[in-house]
């Protein structure tokens, strides 16, 4: 299980918490939770969704604890953006890639999570809905709104969609 999911879960978590060291800590906690709850896995065919849901929950829990956010949807992205700028493991050489990463970090948590799962991990909307405990329609909506916001940020410097 660790061999199969280590790399994809690391990058999923890293995109959420930004820091390499924090991603390693969250990943370790994720594998502990997977081990503890492996007996609860009802359908072996859904193992990928199940481990991604655990990783997502662990990353969100870490963000809440570290940043003492009451609601991640109201979080100030400046903390994560600062981590992105100062993390020695972040490649800041390509200005467009950096701007893209900044745009993603400025998204509300659910949109950022759905966007990462769809764009980077290429998961189907049905799986994303299971991971985020939402509907397929909500996953599609969050993804498309996130894409629009990212595009607006890159072209206009603002995360809110143009009216």
Q: What is the CATH number of the domain that holds 150?
A: 1.20.140
56 closest CA partner among 23, 82, 98, 99: 23
Q: Give the global pTM.
A: 0.76
Q: What is the mean pLDDT of the chain?
A: 84
| Residue 161 covered by a domain | no
Number of domains in the chain: 1
CB 113, CB 138: distance < 8 Å = no
Residue-range definition of the domain harbouring residue 52: 2-156
pLDDT band at 150 (very low <50, low <70, confident <90, very high): very high
| Residue 78 covered by a domain | yes
CB 116, CB 15: distance < 8 Å = yes
| Residue 163 covered by a domain | no
Residues 31-47 have pLDDT tens digits of: 999 999 988 887 777 89
- CA distances, 115 to each of 70, 86, 136, 148 (Å): 22, 23, 13, 11
């Amino acid at each position: 299980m660790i061999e199969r999911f280590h790399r994809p879960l690391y990058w999923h978590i890293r995109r959420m918490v930004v820091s390499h060291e924090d991603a390693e800590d969250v990943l370790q906690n994720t594998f502990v939770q997977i081990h503890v709850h492996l007996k609860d896995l009802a359908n072996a065919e859904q193992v990928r969704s199940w481990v991604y849901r655990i990783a997502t929950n662990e990353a969100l829990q870490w963000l809440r604890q570290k940043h003492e956010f009451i609601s991640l949807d109201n979080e100030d992205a400046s903390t994560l953006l600062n981590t992105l700028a100062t993390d020695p493991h972040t490649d800041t050489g390509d200005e467009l890639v950096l701007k893209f990463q900044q745009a993603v970090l400025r998204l509300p948590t659910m949109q950022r999570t759905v966007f990462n799962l769809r764009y980077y991990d290429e998961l189907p909307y049905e799986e994303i809905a299971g991971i985020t405990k939402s509907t397929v329609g909500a996953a599609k909506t969050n993804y498309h709104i996130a894409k629009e916001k990212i595009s607006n940020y890159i072209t206009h410097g603002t995360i809110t969609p143009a009216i």
